[in-house]
Structure 1
Amino acid sequence: MPSFADARALAETVLAEHFPDRWRHVQSVAREALRISALPEVDRDDLIQAAVLHDIGYSPVVARTRFHPLDGARFLAARGYEDRVVDLVAHHSGAAIEAELRGIGGLERFRDEASPTRDALWYCDAVTGPQGGRVTPDERWAEIRRRYGPDHVVTAFLDRGEPELRAAVARTTARIEAAGLDQRGLGQTGTES
C-alpha cells in the first residue's frame, strides 16, 4: 500500500506544474484533514491520503473522461491504492450527483460510504478555497457558482447536491465541536489553514 508520502509526491508530480492553484487547494485540504483526523470514528490514514489525492483527476496526466473524481479513482486503483481511499476519491463532495447530471457512468463501480471519514473529507474540501485559503462552506459554494455561471452543470450539481453537502459538513462540524477543536478562523477568507 502506498504511504501518505507516496500519495503526496504523486499528487504534487501530476498537479503542481499544470495546476499550481489546484495544488495549493489540495495541500490545504490535506492540512485540514490532518488537523481533524483524530475525530472519533474518522479513519486518520484514509482521510489524509484521500484528501491529498481527491483532485488528482484534474491532471492532464490522469484525465480521461474529464470527470475528475472518476478519472482520479481509476488512476489510483490502477496504482494499487487501498479500495477505501479510491472510493473516497471517487465520491468526494457528492460526485455521484454530478456524474448523474453529466450522464457519466462508471462511478457506481466505487462504493460511496456514508461515514464520518467521508463526511470529514467533504468538510475539508468545503472549507478550502480554490487557491488554498480558508473559507466557509457558503463562501466556497458561492465562489463555485460564480466561477461556473448559472447555466453550467456544476452549478446545477450544487443546486441539487447542496443539502447532502451541508449535512456532511454539519455532522463533521458537530464532531469537531464535541471534540473541542477550534474552528481556526472559519470564515476568514484568504488565510491558510
Structure 2
Amino acid sequence: MSGDHALATVPPPAGGLATHPGGDLVAAAERLARELLEDLHPRWEHTRAVAARAAAGAGAVAPQDRPVLVAAAWLHDVGYAPDLRAVGFHPLDGADHLRGAGWPRLLASLVAHHSGARFAAQVRGLTGALSAHDDPRALAGAIADALTWADQTVSADGEVVDVEERLADVLRRHGPDSPNARCHHLRGPYVRGAVRRTQDRLRRAGAVPAPASAPDGERPPR
C-alpha cells in the first residue's frame, strides 16, 4: 500500500501520549507498520518480532513509558517502505514521516535514533539532519536502551539471537565497506551496552522476557 494510503487510514492518535491511552498508540503504530511493511519480507517478520520482544521486555522501563516503547518497536523500520524513502537512511526517513504526520515527538525521535543510528548517520554525513530529532530520552536511558535491545536481539528474519550474532550478521549482510562497518567501532560498544543495561534492568525488575515470536502463532517464512 502506498504511504499516502497509510497516512489517510492510520492517523496518529490526536493529542499524543498525554491524552490518549497507551493502547491506542500501540494499535495505531501496529496498523501503520502493517500498511507500510507487510509486503516487505523478511522486514515484516523482523518488525513483528521486535514489537513482540519489546512488549515482553517492557518491564525494563517505567509503566508510563511502555506504550511508546512498543509503538516505537512497531515503527522503527518504517523508513524502509518505498513510499517513505527520501534520503535512503531508514531511521531518518521513518522519523521524518512520523513527525510530518503528527506522531508524538518522542516516538519519532526513538525511531530516528534506534540501535545507535547516530553513528551511521555521522559516516553518511547526515548528523545535522538526524539532529532535528534529538531528544535526550531517545539518545540515552531506559527507553532508548530497551528499543535497541529489542531490535538487536532479533535477527533480520525474526528469530531471537544473541547480540553478537546480530552484530556479526549486520556486518556480513552490509559488507566491509558499508557505513555500518565503518562505524562499528563506535556502534558495536553502544549496542552491547544498551543490551547489557536492559538485561540488568529486567533482572532487577524480576521480569524474564519471553522469546520473540510472530503474533497469532504464525511463523515467519524461512
Provide the residue aligned with 1:168 in structure 2.
194
Provide the residue aligned with 1:20 in structure 2.
41
Mind listing any 5+ residue stretches in structure 2 that lack a counterpart? Answer: 1-11, 14-24, 213-218
What code does the residue aligned with 2:32 have?
Answer: L
SS in 1 for 2:183: helix
Percent identical? 38
Cα offsets for 1:17-40 (capped at 9, x unmatched)? 1x1211110111000111111334
Provide the residue aligned with 2:170 in structure 1.
144
Alpha-carbon separation, structure 2, partners of 1:67 and 1:94: 13
Alpha-carbon separation, structure 2, partners of 1:123 and 1:30: 11
Q: How does 1:5-154 map to 2 (within 5 A)?
A: 5-17=27-39, 19-41=40-62, 43-104=65-126, 105-112=128-135, 113=137, 114-154=140-180
User: Is the contact between residue 61 and residue 143 of structure 2 (CA under 8 Å) also seen in structure 1?
Assistant: no
User: Is the contact between residue 56 and residue 209 of structure 2 (CA under 8 Å) also seen in structure 1?
Assistant: no
Provide the residue aligned with 2:26 in structure 1.
4
What code does the residue aligned with 2:201 have?
Answer: R
SS in 2 for 1:20: coil
User: Is the contact between residue 57 and residue 209 of structure 2 (CA under 8 Å) also seen in structure 1?
Assistant: no
Q: CA RMSD in A?
A: 1.7
User: Is the contact between residue 53 and residue 209 of structure 2 (CA under 8 Å) also seen in structure 1?
Assistant: no
Alpha-carbon separation, structure 1, partners of 2:170 and 2:147: 18
Cα offsets for 1:32-56 (capped at 9, x unmatched)? 1111113343610110000000000
1:185 Cα offset (Å): 6.0
User: Is the contact between residue 146 and residue 198 of structure 2 (CA under 8 Å) also seen in structure 1?
Assistant: yes
Task: Tell me the TM-score normalised to structure 1 length.
Answer: 0.90
SS in 1 for 2:83: coil
1:11 Cα offset (Å): 0.8
1:157 Cα offset (Å): 2.2
Provide the residue aligned with 1:189 in structure 2.
none
The 1:40–1:48 alpha-carbon spacing in structure 2 relative to 1, beyond 3 Å, is: closer
Which has the larger helix fraction? 2
SS in 1 for 2:84: coil
1:12 Cα offset (Å): 1.0
Q: How many residues align?
A: 186
Cα offsets for 1:66-111 (capped at 9, x unmatched)? 0000000010111111001011001001111100101123101112
**Runs of 4+ with >6 A deviation:** none
The 1:85–1:40 alpha-carbon spacing in structure 2 relative to 1, beyond 3 Å, is: closer
What code does the residue aligned with 2:110 have?
Answer: L
The 1:40–1:98 alpha-carbon spacing in structure 2 relative to 1, beyond 3 Å, is: closer
Alpha-carbon separation, structure 1, partners of 2:37 and 2:114: 18
What code does the residue aligned with 1:94 have?
Answer: G
